[in-house]
Structure 1
């Protein structure tokens, strides 16, 4: 799957000789997991907390309507709790690529929708609380992604704008602990506000 994502990204880059435009987006995001996980025969509830992240991205416009966006977020940390008590801190990278349709019109507002693929690449794991002094391992995971949002370009702005979007990522990495091995259902919704610059 990772090879397929890389291939899609390279294909996007290979058309840079065609007429088109690049856009850089710098945003701040709130990540809200939508699921939790039941383990130990349903007696323990495992869930990841909400987090904030710096989420830059690069987008290439093939024409006014079709574009491809690659999300390049910095490592994101999640405190994972068991029945409300901290147990594991997970740091990961969430590279995401989406193919987008931009509803270009005569106003400064350009709504868009996108679908694509995402990944959960573990960066570090640290145990605490009841799991302190034990090891926890989180595996890579891959899933689909979707987004909806809009970019607003003021009338007097030549290249810059602001954007708001919402993404959904299907992510359920496998976690190995001394207690039990399980899939951590995260499936986050990501709310982003940021600045865009097209050149």
Structure 2
């Protein structure tokens, strides 16, 4: 009965529609890194980054009946940065903590079927990730580690998602994104410069949200 009540025109998005989504976004890194260097010496230890979930927001404008331009935003993601081996410095396995924002612009193509409440889409775009509030743990600061800094990242992004129309204005959304995030880290250990020359985070971002069409 609900499906019959919703007109076929209302099920599919149309040109000049504006939509807003809000929900939960989980960043799950598929990370790899080069080893930590201190004064040019290789410590034989790499880094790992854990998952984090935050409020995810996105806004999209349909510039055609089946294509939109989407901007992804979120509250800042905070990740533990861990050693790749257990407790190499005797300070615990966690090296520190970093916070980032990954604003992403995507162009999405919808496989429009006006008769279906399911509206799947694929998309591709660009990401710029901003790192800030990079800190070592207190235990690592106590042995002389300081001035942790990660470079911002610019890379590609891709996604698959589906909107499920509840009525003419409200809908549910689920999506999976891949984002290319590559960075470098610098720090010092008791005045000696240190670095990690390559950190590939490359996360999958899982989002479940509620949307509204204007």
TM category (shorter chain) comes to: 0.7 to 0.9
The answer to whether the 8 Å contact 2:78/2:97 transfers is yes
The answer to whether the 8 Å contact 1:136/1:176 transfers is yes
Alignment of 1:15-164 (within 5 A): 20-40=16-36, 41=42, 43-82=44-83, 83-84=85-86, 85-105=93-113, 106-128=115-137, 129-132=139-142, 134-154=146-166, 157-164=167-174
Unaligned runs of 5+ in 2: 1-14, 37-41, 87-92, 189-193
The answer to whether the 8 Å contact 1:69/1:100 transfers is yes
Q: Distance in 2 between matches of 1:104 and 1:123?
A: 40
Aligned residues: 179
Q: Distance in 1 between matches of 2:196 and 2:168?
A: 53
Q: Distance in 1 between matches of 2:70 and 2:43?
A: 39
The answer to whether the 8 Å contact 1:141/1:174 transfers is no
Q: Distance in 1 between matches of 2:56 and 2:31?
A: 22
> Does the residue aligned with 1:130 lie in a helix, a strand or coil?
helix
Instruction: Give the TM-score, by structure 2 length.
Output: 0.79
Higher RCO structure, 1 or 2 (CA under 8 Å, sep 6+): 2
The answer to whether the 8 Å contact 2:33/2:196 transfers is no
RMSD: 1.6
Q: Deviations over 1:157-181 (max 9, x none)?
A: 1201000000000001111122323
Q: Distance in 1 between matches of 2:31 and 2:95?
A: 17
Q: Distance in 2 between matches of 1:35 and 1:123?
A: 19
CA drift at 1:79: 0.7
Instruction: Give the TM-score, by structure 1 length.
Output: 0.85
